Amino acid sequence: MRTSELFRSAFESLMRNRRRSLLSMLGIVIGIAAVVMILSISAGFQQNLNQTLTRGGSGKQTGTIYFNAKDTSSKLPSFTEADVSLAKAVPGVAKAKIQSWAGNQQDVKVAMGGTSKRQSWVLETVTHYNKRITRGRGLTAADNDLRHRYAVVSTGFATRWAKHHNQVVGSTVNLAGFNYQIVGVFRPAGGVNLFTNEAAIYVPKNAYAIGTAATSGNALNLTLTSSANSKRVLNQVAKALRKQGSAKNRGSYEVQDNAKALAAVGKILKGITTFIGAIAGISLFIAGIGVMNMTYISVAERMPEIGIRRALGAKPRDITNQFLLEGTMLTAFGGLIGYLVGSLLAVVVGHFLPFPVHFEGSAFWLAFLVSTAIGLLFSVGPARSATKKNLLELLR
Amino acid sequence: MLINLQHINKVYQQGDRQFHVLKDINLQIAQGEYVSIMGSSGAGKTTLIDVIGFLDRDFAGSYEFNGQPVRQMGENQAAALRNRHVGFVFQNFKLIPTLSIGENIELPLLYAGKRRKACRPLVEEALAAVGLAGSFRKFPNQLSGGQQQRVAIARAIVNQPDFIIADEPTGALDSATTKEIMAIFTRLHQQGKTLLIVTHDPKVGAQAERMVRVADGRVVDEGREG
């Protein structure tokens, strides 16, 4: 039989038993939908992770050198501008920046007004802050130099504050025993960030007396060129600092390769994804068994029909191909529907997640290929068995 | 010679018993002959036409079809032969109930490699030849026994086979319908078709030009006068 006619014949046969075909397809639809949904969500999570860890975004290689001071009470800076120049001189380093670490964050208890109960908020000291200001203004370097007791608060803080105060900007808040004037409100960046908590209150560093030494935990953030061997370059910077760093005698330098950290987390993520994927794979296997069962029943039911077709001139392979095609068309179509359902579900679930879901074109082909393969694999047995019976027995 | 059987022997194995169903059959049928194969049930008529119609290649002896030996053929070749050269008509019609009349008649053409579009006119022609024009979209369960048998005949002739084998074609029909069906066969023969009709009904058998009698696995009367 012509191939085009074989396809048409198989399709019409499936349409004749619509309910049975749909039920057999259901297993594949569910299995593929589950796999697609999981893959999209995990891909989105991984992408978000990438962006968070590589602080420059855009996939640039980054690394960090930490300084651990021997004398933790010392107030001497861990890194100076000289150190920055030293780092930049190392080939492979594109940018270098001193960063105050999360050690500059702390919890403060703030009396929000009205009731006497205090709420705990995360406060961070900065040299300046000007991101996503929605009301008033940010903190300038001048504020820091002049040690102004100004504060910029998050929208979440502002909402609570406004319950007991007429205005936010311009009002006074007491932080760790001192009064600060709120000069602006900012909108938090949001998103899932595994390494830092975003603060709700920013104040100038010089205005805020911190008990802990500013030297411990300071870090030098490095952005490397794309062609650099991150491990080697970072080690070279550390070596240069150990030789000529401004704090070389006061403590030790430690390298953190962000790429490695990223790879480590990525590995864990991959492991989880693989595990869940395997479970979804088992469901696909079970669906395949369902298709095989249905095809066997179909063959048994249509034995007289098979006898007639063969008497009229159908070769054994015509019969085998017919049933093989019926099973495969079923699963392939189920795979397509499963992909659509899974994508839809991923979008719906994505609304409840703090990161966007990520669709890859490869997921579509994966779904199509896997479902077609399942159809072929699980239909071969029954399709072959359709021609095993003796023709004469079938006819009489 | 279209069909040439020489020293055909067939043995059935059932358990540990052997049944010698065909015993040294010698039979020749030429193109255009109208032959009836008669005998009581169990005589071996059905087994004989199974061999002649390429349905059964498990026999001893020589079967030449148009000079071509049949026994050594593989299943694929035999299927092609059936498709191209034989039209079958069975006692219980053997139409596929889930297909329409037209789709049933189409089957030999599709297995010959034709496109469905090309089949339509040929199917309509065959339907007209058996007096059922316009029944393309109907289903077998909507037709009477006689009509279903006509559809089976249409299916048997649609691919222009060399010969038609009918196994008790009127066995499930009443006498009036039997007459109609036999009239169709007569008409086909007049158009030059070769017919082999197996029957135990003497009235049906008498309508053929030549009556071959089979008894106990042997041809006892070849029906050739002189």
Search chain A and give the residue with CA nearest B54. Answer: A311
The answer as to whether B111 is a domain residue is yes
**Residues A175-206 pLDDT 10s:** 877 888 999 999 887 655 545 567 888 888 88
Which residue range forms the structural domain that includes residue B157?
3-221
Alpha helix segments (H runs only) across chain A: 3-16, 18-53, 81-89, 141-145, 155-161, 230-244, 258-301, 303-311, 316-350, 361-385, 391-395
Any B CB within 8 A of A8 CB = yes
Q: Is pLDDT at B110 greater than 90 in this prediction? A: yes
For chain B, the distance separating the N- and C-terminal CA atoms, rounded to the nearest angstrom, is 18
Which chain B positions have a beta carbon within 8 Å of A390's beta carbon?
none
Q: Is the dihedral of CA A240, A76, A219, A82 positive or negative?
A: negative
Any B CB within 8 A of A395 CB = yes
Q: Is the dihedral of CA A141, A143, A146, A151 positive or negative?
A: negative
Mean pLDDT confidence for B74-85? 93
Return the pLDDT at A59.
Answer: 58
By Cβ distance, the residue of B82, B94, B116 closest to A5 is: B116
By Cβ distance, the residue of A316, A318, A396 closest to B111 is: A318
Return the pLDDT at A258.
Answer: 67
How many CB pairs below 8 Å do chains A and B form together? 66
* A158, A159, A161, A164 alpha-carbon torsion, rounded to 10°: 150
Phi and psi of B153, rounded to 5°?
-65, -40
- Predicted TM-score (pTM) of the model is 0.69
Which chain B positions have a beta carbon within 8 Å of A394's beta carbon?
none
Mean pLDDT confidence for A259-264? 71
For A55-60, the CB contacts below 8 A with 24+ separation are: A55/A221, A56/A223, A60/A94, A60/A223, A60/A224, A60/A226
Give the CA count within 13 Å in the CB-facing half-sphere of A259.
16
Any A CB within 8 A of B75 CB = yes
Q: Which is more confident, A21 or B226? A: A21
Distance (Å, whole) CA A70 – CA A72? 6
A6: tokens are: 């074989």
Q: Are A315 and B80 an interchain contact pair (Cβ–Cβ within 8 Å)?
A: yes
Residue B69 burial (CB count, 10 A)? 11
Q: Is B226 helix (H, G, I), strand (E, B) or coil?
A: coil
Domain ranges within chain A, ordered by starting residue = 3-51+263-395, 102-207
Which chain A positions have a beta carbon within 8 Å of B75's beta carbon?
315-316
pLDDT band of B157, cuts 50, 70, 90:
very high
Distance (Å, whole) CA A285 – CA B135? 45
Any A CB within 8 A of B84 CB = yes
The most confident of the ranges A115-129, A223-237, A315-329 is: A315-329
Is residue A288 a contact partner of residue A331, using CB atoms and an 8 Å limit?
yes
Mean pLDDT confidence for A213-220? 54
A313: tokens are: 């001139």
Which chain A positions have a beta carbon within 8 Å of B111's beta carbon?
1, 309, 312-315, 318
A65: tokens are: 């050198």
Nearest C-alpha neighbor of B209 from the set B88, B37, B36: B36
The most confident of the ranges A237-241, A349-353, B31-35 is: B31-35
The answer as to whether B226 is a domain residue is no
Q: Is pLDDT at B25 greater than 80 in this prediction? A: yes
DSSP state of B35: E
Question: CA–CA distance from A335 to each of A41, A95, A266, A368, A372 (Å)?
Answer: 19, 48, 28, 6, 8
- What secondary structure does DSSP assign to A32-79, as a single string? HHHHHHHHHHHHHHHHHHHHHHSTTSTT--EEEEEEEESSTT--S-S-
The answer as to whether B109 is a domain residue is yes
For chain B, give the percent of residues with pLDDT over 90: 74
Return the pLDDT at A209.
Answer: 59
Nearest C-alpha neighbor of B63 from the set B23, B1, B2, B5: B5
Q: Is pLDDT at A66 greater than 90 in this prediction? A: no
Q: Which is more confident, A300 or A37? A: A300
Least confident of A116-125, A208-217, B104-113, B181-190: A208-217
Is residue B197 a contact partner of residue B36, using CB atoms and an 8 Å limit?
yes
Q: Distance, in angstroms, between A376 CA and closest chain B CA?
A: 23
Q: Which is more confident, A269 or B183? A: B183
Radius of gyration of chain A (CA): 33
Q: Is pLDDT at A229 greater than 80 in this prediction? A: no
Mean pLDDT confidence for B65-80? 90
Q: Are B84 and A313 an interchain contact pair (Cβ–Cβ within 8 Å)?
A: yes
pLDDT band of B208, cuts 50, 70, 90:
very high
Search chain B and give the residue with CA nearest A16. Answer: B98
Q: Is pLDDT at A212 greater than 50 in this prediction? A: no
Is residue A28 a contact partner of residue A338, using CB atoms and an 8 Å limit?
yes
Distance (Å, whole) CA A251 – CA A244? 13
Q: Is pLDDT at A111 greater than 80 in this prediction? A: yes
Return the pLDDT at A57.
Answer: 47
Which chain A positions have a beta carbon within 8 Å of B83's beta carbon?
312-314
Q: Are A1 and B55 an interchain contact pair (Cβ–Cβ within 8 Å)?
A: no
Nearest C-alpha neighbor of A123 from the set A140, A147, A141, A100: A100
Mean pLDDT confidence for A53-58? 52
Burial class (CB in 10 A: 0-12, 13-18, 19+), A248: middle
pLDDT band of A48, cuts 50, 70, 90:
confident
By Cβ distance, the residue of A305, A310, A392 closest to B79 is: A310
The answer as to whether B27 is a domain residue is yes
Contacting B residues, span 90-109, partner chain A, CB-CB under 8 Å = 90, 94-96, 98, 107-108
Return the pLDDT at A274.
Answer: 84
B136: tokens are: 């393309």
Q: Are B79 and A395 an interchain contact pair (Cβ–Cβ within 8 Å)?
A: no
pLDDT band of A112, cuts 50, 70, 90:
confident
Give the CA count within 13 Å in the CB-facing half-sphere of A133.
17
Mean pLDDT confidence for A218-227? 78
- The CATH number assigned to the domain holding B49 equals 3.40.50.300
Is residue B104 a contact partner of residue B155, using CB atoms and an 8 Å limit?
yes
B119: tokens are: 């089949």
pLDDT band of A54, cuts 50, 70, 90:
low
Return the pLDDT at B164.
Answer: 95
Return the pLDDT at A52.
Answer: 64
Q: Is pLDDT at B159 greater than 90 in this prediction? A: yes
Structural domain count of chain B = 1
Mean pLDDT confidence for A98-107? 64
Q: Is pLDDT at B216 greater than 60 in this prediction? A: yes
Phi and psi of A53, rounded to 5°?
-70, -45
